[in-house]
Amino acid sequence: MRDYNGVLLPTLLRAYNRAKNARYNIGICEQLALQLDAKPTSEKTKNFEKLNLIVVAQAPSPEQQQDRPVHIQILVPHESNKGYHLRIGIDELLAGFATAQPSVEAEDQAWPKLRKQMRQAESDESNEQND
Amino acid sequence: MRSGIQGFQSLRLQQLRASLAMTQAELADLIQCAKGNISKWEQGRSSPEISSFQKICKVFGVSETWLLEAPIASRETQPSFFRAQNQTPKASREVARTRLDWAEEISYKLQESLEFPVVNVPEHKGDFKALTDYEIENLATECRQLWKLGQSPVDNLINAMESNGIVVTRGSLGFAKMDGVSRWSQADARPYTFLCMDKANGFRTRFDSAHELGHIVLHKAVTDVDYQKHYHLLEKQAHRFASAILLPAASFSRDVHYPTLETFLILKPKWKASAAAMIRRCQDLEIIGEDTALRLWKARSARGWVQREPLDETLVPEEPKLLERSVKMLVENKILAKNTLRQVLGMPASIIEELCNLPKGYFEQDNTGNVIELRLRSSAQQRSNSQHSSGGQVIPLARK
């Protein structure tokens, strides 16, 4: 279920993420870089080495400009090639690294004020001096 | 029957000795008296004679009147919530509690002349034992709404706390495993927080602030007995609140597309939270399951991030401003001379400077010209005629 902006609602998004993560018997790319050079020690790491990354660049139609692809997709297929660990567009991938929401600087209200009677005393004194 | 200086405040001596984590025997050596006397003076069973009394003033660099003035501290009636790692020496708690006592006293006295921001903090009024994670999340959301923080990362949490009436101070204690302590004051019905700066890690201090805020919001009604009995539950609840206020469920979970250590490192400068805090938050929000979490914790450990994470040095610890601004407002507007203010506050100058986040040696520079001296708390009036003890060797109280 999505809200009116087409964005997954938070609780559903979390459930979706959890389901997505559970599907991967290795965390997406987690420790992949570290373990590529290591000798396989278990079936799990053997499977690791069979991972393939496919980059699909969709070419524009002949009548369109040919200087850039219409769309780029990143795919990590299951070993059986019957499904995908990961199948997303490059824009979506990059969005995961974006800092879309800048931090909010709340108004700085951490200032003391002189007490009213003191402000009054100061004001009276100043008036007296002026007179 | 009590003998010696009339009106001697035993708690003052306890505070001074605790703030240096000094034993009674060490203090007895310094002022050349029997150890048993220190014990009696601290318990209020007797008071020091004039010569010992003056030696105490000289050794600690405090005024005589301050030792005779009843302390303003809510430690007897309100529980102090400590955030500390396991195996923290008992002395470190006493040092931290004393700093909080003194911060409360400084603030209380300054408020005689100054109005501080109004306390604007949501409070949980029910039984803390029945608090659910859902309610804690809601209270964190309520706090964000009340403080107009939206759903984005908080730029400066300490400033947000001070802007909403919480007095925050910080200092070094010499104990790396002590993180902070907080308490609601009975004197001015205001919450106080002391943060330990021994780790010098901006991410860590920020989480400590959020944790103490959790105690302030969730545990106002908790008694000292409850605190002793349910320490772990209270800590867990404050921890959950800290995670929720720093990393709101709705917006943070949108950022965690792929729960890897690399992702958390990328998100670290944005959310100003450690990778560990983000892994924990992903677990709390069930973005990741137990297997993924375990793998991430192991990977974090394998990379040597338990002691220190990458980018830890990039965030400068947030600084409290309220007390500093208050002192400077009184001094720079020539409402009170530095010497008089230091006399009124009474405690060692180095401690006042540290707790008020003032530059070292601030009170050594004189500015007595053209000062109109206005009132502080009535007890301060009696003090204004007293002479601050000078001469003799003064122990610097900054750390052990």
B344-361 burial, b at 16+ Cβ within 10 Å, e below that, comes to bbbbbbbbbbbbbbbeee
Q: Per-residue confidence at B392, pLDDT binned at 50, 70, 90? A: very low
Q: What Cα–Cα distance (Å) separates residue B75 from each residue in A33, A123, B116, B152?
A: 53, 39, 22, 36
Interface contact B329-A112, CB threshold 8 A:
yes
Q: Which chain B residues are within 8 Å of A17, Cβ to Cβ?
A: 253, 256-257, 259, 287-288
pLDDT value of residue B150: 87
pLDDT score for B272: 95
pLDDT greater than 90 at residue B135: yes
- The residue whose two tokens read 């000798």 is A39
Beta bridge partners of B169: B194
Tokens of B79: 């529980």
What count of other Cβ atoms lies within 10 Å of the Cβ of residue B214?
29
DSSP-derived secondary structure for A47-90: HHHT---EEEEEPPPTTS--SS-SEEEEEEE-TTSSSEEEEEEH
Interface test with B, best of A3, A31, A120 (most B CBs within 10 A): A31
Which residue in chain A is spatially nearest to B326 when comparing CA positions? A112
pLDDT recorded at residue B381 = 40
What integer pLDDT is reported at residue B385 of this predicted model? 37
Which of B3, B29, B181, B176 is CA-nearest to residue B103?
B181
Q: A6 CB near a chain B CB, below 8 Å?
A: no
The pLDDT assigned to B285 comes to 93
Least confident of A34-38, A113-117, B208-212, B291-295: A34-38
**Residue B382: band (very low, low, confident or very high) from pLDDT cuts 50, 70, 90:** very low
Q: Higher-confidence residue: B384 or B34?
A: B34
Most confident by average pLDDT, A40-44, B217-221, B390-394: B217-221
B150-205: pLDDT as tens digits: 888 999 999 999 999 999 999 888 777 778 999 999 889 999 999 998 878 999 99
Instruction: Give the C-alpha separation, A55 to B366, whole Å.
Output: 71
CA B145/CA B124 separation, integer angstroms: 16
For the stretch A57-94, pLDDT in tens is 888 888 888 888 888 988 888 777 778 877 888 887 77
Partners of B103 in beta bridges: none
In this complex, is the C-beta atom of A29 within 8 Å of any C-beta atom belonging to chain B? yes
Nearest-angstrom CA–CA distance, B196 and B184? 18
Sign of the torsion angle spanned by Cα atoms B219, B221, B224, B228: negative
Lowest mean pLDDT among A55-59, B3-7, B170-174, B372-376: B372-376
> CA nearest B330 in A: which residue?
A114
Cβ partners under 8 Å of residue B284, min gap 6: B133, B240, B243
| Residue B319 at interface with chain A, using a CB cutoff of 8 Å | no
Whether the Cβ atoms of residue B184 and residue B215 lie closer than 8 Å to each other:
no
Task: Write down the mean pLDDT value for chain B.
Answer: 86
Kindly state the helix (H) or strand (E) to which residue A25 belongs, with its residue range. Answer: none
What's at B328, amino acid-wise? K
Closest Cα in chain A to B161: A110
Residues of B in contact with A109 (CB under 8 A): 117, 162-164
Please state the pTM of the whole predicted model. 0.75
Report yes or no: B299 at the A interface, CB cutoff 8 Å: yes
Rounded to whole angstroms, how far apart are CA atoms A11 and B199?
A: 36
pLDDT, position A30: 45
Strands B167-171 and B191-196: parallel
Instruction: Give the DSSP H or E segment for B39.
Output: helix B35-43
B272 touches chain A (CB under 8 A): yes
Nearest CA-CA partner of B83 in B184, B169, B204? B204
- Distance of alpha carbon B312 from alpha carbon B275, whole angstroms: 10
Query: Could you tell me the two tokens for B198?
Result: 């021994």
Q: Looking at the partner chain, which of A95, A103, A110 has a beta carbon nearest the beta carbon of B153? A: A103
Asked if B117 reaches chain A (Cβ–Cβ under 8 Å), the answer is: yes
- Between A13, A30, A109, which is nearest B254 by CB? A13
What pLDDT does residue A35 have? 36
Residue B41, pLDDT > 70, answer yes
Q: What is the pLDDT of residue A103?
A: 58
**Can you give the pLDDT at residue B305?**
94
What's the mean pLDDT in A37-54?
56
B64-78, B245-259, B275-289, B323-337: lowest mean pLDDT where? B64-78
ipTM of the complex: 0.80
Helix (H, G, I), strand (E, B) or coil at B220: coil
Whether the predicted pLDDT of A49 surpasses 60: no
- The structure tokens listed for B25 are 């025997």
pLDDT tens sequence across B23-32: 899 999 988 8
- A118, closest residue in chain B (CA to CA): B113
| ∠ Cα B2 B5 B9 (to 5°) | 85
pLDDT given for residue A26 in this prediction: 45
Helix axes B261-271, B290-302, angle to 10 degrees: 80
Q: What is the pLDDT at residue A27?
A: 44
pLDDT at B387: 36
Q: Do the Cβ atoms of B243 and B280 come closer than 8 Å?
A: yes
Q: What is the pLDDT of residue B301?
A: 94
A62 Cβ neighbours under 8 A, 6+ residues apart: none
Between A12-26, A79-93, B105-119, B243-257, the lowest mean confidence (pLDDT) is in A12-26
B213: chain A residues, CB-CB within 8 Å: none
Q: What is the mean pLDDT of residues A34-60?
A: 61
Structure tokens at B233: 């539950």
Report the C-alpha gap between A106 and B164 in whole angstroms.
Answer: 11
> Cβ separation of A104 and B150 shorter than 8 Å?
yes
| Closest chain B CA to residue A9 | B250
Nearest to B289 among A13, A22, A92 (CB): A22
